[in-house]
Amino acid sequence: AINCDVRVHNLSAYEDLEYFKRKTTRRFASIFIDEAQDYKSSWLTILYKNFLKRGGEMVLFEDKSQDIYLWSPKALPIKFEEKKLRKGASSECRYKNDAIFNILQIFTTHFKLDVVEEPTLKLPNGGVITYNLENGSNINVKNYGALVDDIIKKYGLLRDDCAVLASTLDLLQDIDLSYRKKTQTKTVTTFPTLEQHHKMSKLCPSAFAASKKSMERTKKLNFSMTEEGLKLSTIYSFKGWEADNIILFIQKPEPPNAKYDEKNLKPIEEAPEKALCPKVIYTALSRAKVNLFIINLGHAQYDQFFKKNIN
């Protein structure tokens, strides 16, 4: 829009199929879109109609099992030709532990997800999958960082190859702070740390909102698994990434019609129901390549499933 000298006045512009009408747009012979399941059909159509050369090719890479934004399905005004990826291009070598592949198959069947996982290479099961139910009665929330450190030490893991995932930012910020205090080591996050958040919160509301948005964007864009230190990310931000070792915290659902204010803060063990749906949890589980450690903070439905299917 900037290149075409068209102003964006509101968010509805992003779904306006006629937005670039009578404008000269730069067109490309090939357009590649990763994580295409996260795009609304109108966005794809705008790209197709206005930015692809005649006779050009638009290639979409998508994984319907990771459609965690749950856009309302809409018929595409333009029919795209579907092409399957060449077998062997990616997913066959994805998991180095057959047990992870097996639990994903059981999970997709049990929760009726429309997913087909490719078989893994027949490698020795060198990794582990563990499951634990934790709650406020047997662990203090401020000790979650120590719990992560204990897992890393117990299984002799490399911190640089470990990622901690959860549905909400507030829980991860607490884990990050308590882990750094416990270990005196650095971490890599896709979000502002709790100290950074508190510093920004002293700004006026408009400045706080702008600074928070800018820092969150910077953190996500500069996040990398190659950096030194434990990685922490929301499940949403970790889509597209993988790690040898995933430590997943599954939060419990918020109470129906929950209302929170400064005097009645949301417990960080809780998350919105949509952030805990099977597609979101599947996405987190499928990020692990070797070792998978699942910590349930009180979600009854997932507790029944994992107790039954993980020894």
Looking at 61-65, 112-116, 123-127, 141-145, which range is the least confident one?
Answer: 123-127
Q: What whole-number distance in Å separates Cα of residue 238 and Cα of residue 190?
A: 8
Tell me the pTM.
Answer: 0.75
At 272, is the pLDDT very low, low, confident or very high (cuts 50, 70, 90)?
very high
Please say if the pLDDT value at position 185 is more than 60: yes
Highest mean pLDDT among 43-57, 63-77, 102-116, 277-291: 277-291
Which string of b and e fits 35-50 if b means at least 16 CB within 10 Å? ebbbbebbebbbbbeb
At 11, is the pLDDT very low, low, confident or very high (cuts 50, 70, 90)?
confident
Which string of b and e fits 204-231 if b means at least 16 CB within 10 Å? eeeeeeebbeebeeebeeebebeeebbb
Dihedral, CA of residue 121, residue 122, residue 126 and residue 128, to nearest 10: 80
At 232, is the pLDDT very low, low, confident or very high (cuts 50, 70, 90)?
very high
| pLDDT tens digits, 125-150 | 578 999 999 875 556 667 899 999 99
| pLDDT tens digits, 70-99 | 665 544 545 555 544 333 334 444 677 888
